[in-house]
Every structure is written in structure tokens, then in C-alpha cells.
């Protein structure tokens, strides 16, 4: 059996499992379901995966691994330098494309839920999230070096906040459908642009917009 054949067979099993999980969820999907979807015997599947949990981890690895690839090394898209609000819009649009093509949001949300009760899943999730955080933080530091965000900005905290924005989008996109992207992206851009206009700690962020005499 060649490495290419092994890789193709492994991918065949993961794709079958992904279809089952999207249709029925992690816990309702059985090894028998995966066998039927893949068109393989139990013995053939156990050559590549020792258990259903092992297959689930493989699906999680594939789905979550795609998110780190959304972040370039520099804030430059097609030769154009973009500021943070525009970068976030690009990320959301690319993430939306992944959802339309592979339904990765639906898998990711199930992975998060599973990680609450499954320590092994949580350990793997932490590894993927560390990779995503590292990639995004490096991009924010590149933005900082170019003067696109404040020199004293906390890139660690900003990384966590942007990831939170992305996770919120994923949940709303799954629940409310494709129309979410335009509204959500516009709202995030408005939030970032308006927040940048009022330095935190100035006291102005708490002042009323206008006062009557």
C-alpha cells in the first residue's frame, strides 16, 4: 500500500465522518454510520483510526487547521496595505467562504461543545487555538510596526478580542444563514473605527453625546 493510497483512504474516511457529523452530530454518529457512508468495512477503517474519538479528532484537526491559514504574515492583500477594520472584514469574508464550501463553522461549534466534556478534545483544541493566536498576534505586531495600530496597543488582548469576534460570527452565521456576513462585517468595522476615535482612559468614552442647557 503506497503512502498516497493510505492518505487517500484516510481522507475518504474523514470525509464520510464529516458528512455524518454534519447530518447527525458527534454523539448520534456511530462507527457503522461512518462505514456505510465511506463504503468500507470496519476492518478497513480500523487500519487508520483506532476509535470514533480518533476520527472526531481528525475532523477537528482538519476544520480548525484551516483557520490559521486566513492570516497573512503582513497586513497586505493583493499588494494593498489594509488597516485593521478592513483586515477583519477580509478575514470574515474568507471564513464565510470556508463555511459555504466545507461547513467548517458547524464542525468547529460541535468541537467546542465536545471539548467541554472531553479532556482529550480540549487538549487538542488548545493546540489549534495556540497556533491561531500565534499567527494572528504576529500579524497584529506587523500592523503595529507599520503604524497601523497604536504603538502601545496590547496585541495579546487584541488577539483574543478579534478571535472572539470571529467565534461570534461563526455562531451567528450557522444560526442565521448567509445574510449574516454583510451586517456583521459592517457592524465590526463600525465598532473598530468608532472605538479608535476615543482613546480609552480619556474620560470621553463615558461622556454623553450632547448636553442640554
Residues 38 and 59 in one domain: no
Q: Give the CATH number, domain containing residue 136.
A: 1.10.357.10
Confidence (pLDDT) at 195: 59
DSSP 76-131: EETTEE--HHHHHHHHHHHHHHHHHHH-HHHHHHHHHHHHHH-HHHHHHHHHHHHH
User: In the chain, what is the greatest distance between 2 CA atoms, to the nearest angstrom?
Assistant: 84
Confidence (pLDDT) at 209: 47
Q: Give the CATH number, domain containing residue 36.
A: 1.10.10.60
Per the CB < 8 A criterion, the answer to whether 142 and 71 are in contact is no
Grid cell, residue 77, equals: 492583500
> What is the distance between the alpha carbons of residues 39 and 53, in angstroms, rounded to a whole number?
20
Confidence (pLDDT) at 210: 45
In a domain, 139, yes or no: yes
Per the CB < 8 A criterion, the answer to whether 169 and 180 are in contact is yes
Residues 162 and 67 in one domain: yes
Residues 147 and 188 in one domain: yes
Cα-atom radius of gyration of the chain, to the nearest Å? 21
Residues 38 and 137 in one domain: no
Confidence (pLDDT) at 74: 92
Q: How far is CA 109 from CA 9, 21, 43, 148, 150, in A?
A: 26, 12, 30, 32, 33
In a domain, 209, yes or no: no
Spatial CA neighbour of 59 closest among 78, 80, 34, 79: 34
Residues 7 and 23 in one domain: yes
What domain count does the chain have?
Answer: 2
Residues 44 and 70 in one domain: no
Residues 59 and 46 in one domain: no
pTM higher than 0.85: no
Residues 34 and 95 in one domain: no
Residues 168 and 84 in one domain: yes
6: containing domain: 1-50
In a domain, 208, yes or no: no
Residues 124 and 111 in one domain: yes
In a domain, 177, yes or no: yes
In a domain, 3, yes or no: yes
In a domain, 211, yes or no: no
In a domain, 159, yes or no: yes
> What is the distance between the alpha carbons of residues 74 and 142, in angstroms, rounded to a whole number?
6
From first to last of its 213 residues, what are the pLDDT tens digits of the chain? 688 889 999 999 999 999 999 999 988 999 999 999 999 998 999 999 999 889 988 888 888 877 878 888 899 988 899 888 888 888 898 889 888 888 889 999 998 988 998 898 899 889 889 989 999 999 999 999 999 998 999 999 999 999 999 999 999 999 888 777 888 988 888 887 775 544 545 444 444 444 443
> What is the distance between the alpha carbons of residues 84 and 199, in angstroms, rounded to a whole number?
16
Give the DSSP H/E element, type plus range, for residue 148: none
Residues 118 and 34 in one domain: no
Amino acid at each position: 500500500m503506497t503512502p498516497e493510497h493510505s492518505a487517500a483512504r484516510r481522507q475518504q474516511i474523514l470525509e464520510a465522518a464529516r458528512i455524518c457529523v454534519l447530518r447527525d452530530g458527534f454523539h448520534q454518529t456511530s462507527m457503522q454510520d461512518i462505514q456505510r457512508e465511506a463504503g468500507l468495512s470496519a476492518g478497513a477503517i480500523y487500519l487508520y483510526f483506532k476509535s470514533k474519538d480518533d476520527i472526531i479528532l481528525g475532523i477537528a484537526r482538519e476544520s480548525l487547521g484551516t483557520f490559521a491559514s486566513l492570516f497573512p504574515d503582513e497586513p497586505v492583500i493583493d499588494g494593498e496595505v489594509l488597516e485593521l477594520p478592513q483586515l477583519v472584514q477580509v478575514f470574515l469574508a474568507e471564513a464565510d467562504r470556508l463555511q459555504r464550501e466545507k461547513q467548517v463553522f458547524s464542525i468547529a461549534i460541535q468541537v467546542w461543545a465536545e471539548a467541554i466534556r472531553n479532556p482529550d478534545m480540549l487538549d487538542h483544541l488548545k493546540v489549534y487555538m495556540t497556533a491561531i493566536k500565534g499567527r494572528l498576534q504576529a500579524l497584529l505586531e506587523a500592523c503595529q510596526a507599520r503604524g497601523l495600530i497604536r504603538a502601545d496597543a496590547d496585541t495579546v488582548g487584541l488577539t483574543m478580542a478579534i478571535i472572539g469576534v470571529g467565534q461570534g460570527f461563526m455562531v451567528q452565521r450557522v444560526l442565521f444563514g448567509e445574510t449574516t456576513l454583510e451586517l456583521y462585517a459592517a457592524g465590526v468595522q463600525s465598532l473598530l473605527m468608532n472605538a479608535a476615535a476615543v482613546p480609552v482612559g480619556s474620560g470621553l468614552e463615558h461622556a454623553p453625546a450632547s448636553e442640554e442647557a
